[in-house]
Structure 1
Amino acid sequence: MSGHTVVTGIGVIAPNGVGTEEFWAATLKGVSGIDRISRYDASGYPSPLAGEVSDFDAAGHLSSRLLPQTDRMTQMALAASDWALADAAVDPAALPEFGMGVVTASASGGFEFAQHELQKLWSKGPEHVSAYQSFAWFYAVNTGQISIRHGMRGPSGVLVTDQAGGLDALGHARRHVRKGTGLVVSGGVDASLSPWGLVSQITSGRLSRSADPERAYAPFDTSADGHVPGEGGAILVLESEASARDRGARIHGTIAGYGATFDPAPGSAREPGLRRAIELALADAELAALDVDVVFADAAGVRALDRIEAEALAAVFGPYTVPVTAPKTMTGRLYSGAASLDVAAALLAMRDGVVPPTLHVPDQAPDCPISLVQDTAREMTVRTALVIARGHGGFNAAVVLRAAPDGDRPGTP
């Protein structure tokens, strides 16, 4: 593992669990966080379901000064970054400020904050609009607020590639680590379930219109008609292996490979780019397809997109071979938070030797020749995992994760 980029901290906030261990316990039990939207009356919307984070109290994590400055998305990202740094046993105040960076992903920015301020503008007038609107809505606000909170002034950035963003952020963060930045906080957290955010997502045509939480999001199923949106995600702490070992850090695993591609224009006869992204990630990790123990799928929940993903996996691994799972069937698709949450789940699967299940796929489509881990968790050794993600507009990303040596893995003597 010499010279590799390792993960030393994980912070999770998800619809089925606030906190890493809470999320993981619920996920292994098949507990879903998908239900009817509760924060407002969504009965008039064609897609009334979502994966809401219902038990997060921002006031319990952030100061009263910070709360009015931040969108719900940022409040959750700040909490997750605190938890990730605590998990990594890192005190940012003790490290060089220019030796720490922040790279996050965002798909929509602070939509809920922006909606509230627009309502004030049109109902009360411009003098009632918060000055914080100038940045609280912005795609890069999570990066900025995490950086300010922890005094991290090293190389930083934001990736805006929809669902692929959680992997693209990690890939970019790994580049910074390789160039000498000692520690990078990275990942994605999104929260765009306000009425304005929901309407914007409905226009994509990819949201399920079902009102049944157990049938609305059924990726790779013959009945798949879209996905359920969700909020939350995961923040990770990345370090060089040398840095982690120098301070005696616990290592969750290694980001061994990363690949990203872009699909050809609609109507093109060229192959979609997902297969190429997977092959690039495997080549970057210097691994063969046979080395992969499990795949965490993108799981679009749209028949045509599910077929493309399954065909790519079958082409790389062979039909019905490597186990494939989509735990996001318990959370909904979290946009920039989805893939980073899958990375967290893959690292936990390595730690505990168990693969989380995919729910609600009773009739797997015959044109999706993959070996789904369905309904119940599967105990198995996981040393190498592939996480794949796609964003609306043609983004494809893949990350290969490798388990840490036994002496470095959480829970080992």
Structure 2
Amino acid sequence: MGAQAVVTGLGVVAPNGMGAEEYWASVLAGRSGLGPITRFDAGAYPCRVAGEVSDFQANGNVPGRLVPQTDRWTHLGLAAAAMALADAEADTAELPEYEMAVVTASSSGGTEFGQREIERLWSRGPRSVGAYQSIAWFYAATTGQISIRHGMRGPCGVLAAEQAGGLDALAQARRLLRDGTRLVVTGGTDASLCPYGVTAQSANGRLSPSPDPATAYRPFGEAPTGYVPGEGGAMFVVEDAGSAAARPAPRRYGVIAGHAATFDPPPGSGRPSTLERAVRAALADAGVTPEQVDVVFADAAGVAELDRAEAETIERVFGPCGVPVTAPKTLTGRLYAGGASLDVATALLAVRDGVIPPTAGGYEPAEGLRIDLVNGAPRPAAVRTALVLARGHGGFNAALVVRAPDGRPDDHDERAET
């Protein structure tokens, strides 16, 4: 029988809450983390609103020597990983170092750190550029710093697939558990709210130019204007079910039951998106039917064409208004690699508490979009199985199925091993 991947710890650093419980309370209360950009003067940039993690301070959350050596995105990742390990009550000093692994997702790397060093290069010359520029910007920097800090010397890696990477990292964690790893810290964060970062993000033409935080990001609505960027994300402790029971782990939020990833054909090819194939493959991997899915956490691009494509995919798989659909990222913005990870954390909390969080704004779907959009207020429901969708700019698609922890063997794993 294959290993069953159970989530035993959550760590969240989000624009509307530090820690899983504060974030979850904000989501259920409809408290938004969106607001005017304050990290720099955004007057000349294509977006004015973002989801900033305004309450976060690196000092006190990150070892002092690492603060000047690493980017803000790594600071957020280190803090979220520490939260997840504390939540799991996992003492890494007591576990074999080569049986613990780290897999994270990153979309942009350390853009703020890189911008600062480039400014020093052009204003003061090459001798002013710090040695840590060579590593702090790199996509794998967060993975490396988490593994060093917690003594995790097993398989380590990073997934770079924009928004989809946050789901792909969890899938890789499940693979590592099947190969004999005992515990994996996984998830994703991003923090690219600086002039260089926003300039790079604007290249896709999807950032909302609206200055109103209440209406700037309205996926699936009439005449959406784009999406609002954000920073933050979530980290998880994922363990083999047997190892978690042997510790014993005090909590099991859910099972990583199924995953699939696809890549879209190039624009202009005339070939359709492969998101539907990813959805159906993830459900098959989890051994569940569409009728067994209780909620879909949508990618929610906030771009009319992309919203319609996603809504039509959901309709084809589940039927017209056949499953509740929600996009709580409307309270945080799209966090890129951190966004899909945060959606998974939200899905696990929805499973735990039996409630579907709403899409912010209380608006109805645009005409012709036949989806059951949960909006305005949380919807009580027996949530046993949730599907999380993510798409990354450039053609990345990913779908992840999480399931309630019920102590039963993972049916798919059992079939795969027999």
Considering the TM-score relative to the shorter chain, is it more than 0.5?
yes
C-alpha deviation, 1:406, in angstroms: 8.1
* Contact persistence 2:71–2:110 (CA under 8 A): yes
Deviates more, 1:241-250 or 1:276-285: 241-250
Q: Matches of 2:231 and 2:38 in 1, distance apart?
A: 13
* Contact persistence 1:2–1:242 (CA under 8 A): no
Q: The residue matched to 2:59 in structure 1 has which SS?
A: helix
| RMSD value, Cα | 1.3
* Contact persistence 1:220–1:361 (CA under 8 A): no
Q: Which runs of 5+ in 2 are unaligned?
A: 409-418
* Residue correspondence of structure 1 range 8-407 to structure 2 within 5 A: 8-249=8-249, 250-360=251-361, 362-405=363-406
Post-superposition Cα deviations, 1:314-367, rounded to whole Å, max 9, x if no partner, equal 000001120000000000000000011000000000111111110126242123
**CA shift in 2, pair 1:253/1:2, >3 Å:** farther
* Contact persistence 1:259–1:278 (CA under 8 A): yes
Match of 2:415 in 1: none
Q: The residue matched to 2:375 in structure 1 has which SS?
A: coil
**CA shift in 2, pair 1:187/1:330, >3 Å:** same
How many residues align? The count is 407
Q: Residue type matched to 1:156 in 2? A: C
Match of 1:411 in 2: none
* Contact persistence 2:11–2:19 (CA under 8 A): yes
Post-superposition Cα deviations, 1:241-269, rounded to whole Å, max 9, x if no partner, equal 11111112121100000011111121223
Question: Once superposed, which parts of structure 1, at least 4 consecutive aligned residues long, lie more than 2 Å away?
Answer: 268-271, 360-363
C-alpha deviation, 1:387, in angstroms: 0.4
* Contact persistence 1:218–1:360 (CA under 8 A): yes
* Contact persistence 2:103–2:173 (CA under 8 A): yes
Q: TM-score, normalised by structure 1?
A: 0.97
Q: Matches of 2:380 and 2:2 in 1, distance apart?
A: 29
Q: Which runs of 5+ in 1 are unaligned?
A: 408-413
Post-superposition Cα deviations, 1:117-139, rounded to whole Å, max 9, x if no partner, equal 00100011111111110100000
- Identity of paired residues, percent? 61
* Contact persistence 1:298–1:388 (CA under 8 A): yes
Q: Residue type matched to 1:349 in 2? A: A
Match of 2:411 in 1: none
Q: Matches of 1:363 and 1:187 in 2, distance apart?
A: 32
Q: Matches of 2:295 and 2:384 in 1, distance apart?
A: 9
* Contact persistence 2:294–2:383 (CA under 8 A): yes
* Contact persistence 1:103–1:184 (CA under 8 A): yes
* Contact persistence 2:27–2:357 (CA under 8 A): yes
C-alpha deviation, 1:142, in angstroms: 0.7
Q: Matches of 2:364 and 2:152 in 1, distance apart?
A: 49
* Contact persistence 2:363–2:376 (CA under 8 A): no
Q: Residue type matched to 1:167 in 2? A: L
Q: The residue matched to 2:82 in structure 1 has which SS?
A: helix
C-alpha deviation, 1:41, in angstroms: 1.4
Match of 2:413 in 1: none
Q: Residue type matched to 1:351 in 2? A: R
Q: The residue matched to 1:334 in structure 2 has which SS?
A: coil
Q: Residue type matched to 1:265 in 2? A: P
Post-superposition Cα deviations, 1:283-324, rounded to whole Å, max 9, x if no partner, equal 001110000000100000000000110010000000112000
* Contact persistence 2:364–2:373 (CA under 8 A): no
Deviates more, 1:222-231 or 1:364-373: 364-373
Match of 2:414 in 1: none
Q: The residue matched to 1:163 in structure 2 has which SS?
A: coil
Q: Matches of 1:63 and 1:176 in 2, distance apart?
A: 28
* Contact persistence 1:7–1:237 (CA under 8 A): yes
* Contact persistence 1:6–1:238 (CA under 8 A): yes
Q: Residue type matched to 1:186 in 2? A: T
Deviates more, 1:229-238 or 1:217-226: 217-226
Q: Residue type matched to 1:243 in 2? A: S
C-alpha deviation, 1:64, in angstroms: 2.0
Q: Matches of 1:222 and 1:71 in 2, distance apart?
A: 38
Q: Residue type matched to 2:22 in 1? A: E
Q: Matches of 2:168 and 2:323 in 1, distance apart?
A: 24
* Contact persistence 2:111–2:197 (CA under 8 A): yes
Q: Matches of 1:309 and 1:3 in 2, distance apart?
A: 32
* Contact persistence 1:233–1:340 (CA under 8 A): yes
Q: The residue matched to 1:393 in structure 2 has which SS?
A: coil
Q: The residue matched to 2:236 in structure 1 has which SS?
A: strand
* Contact persistence 2:365–2:371 (CA under 8 A): no
Q: Matches of 2:40 and 2:267 in 1, distance apart?
A: 37
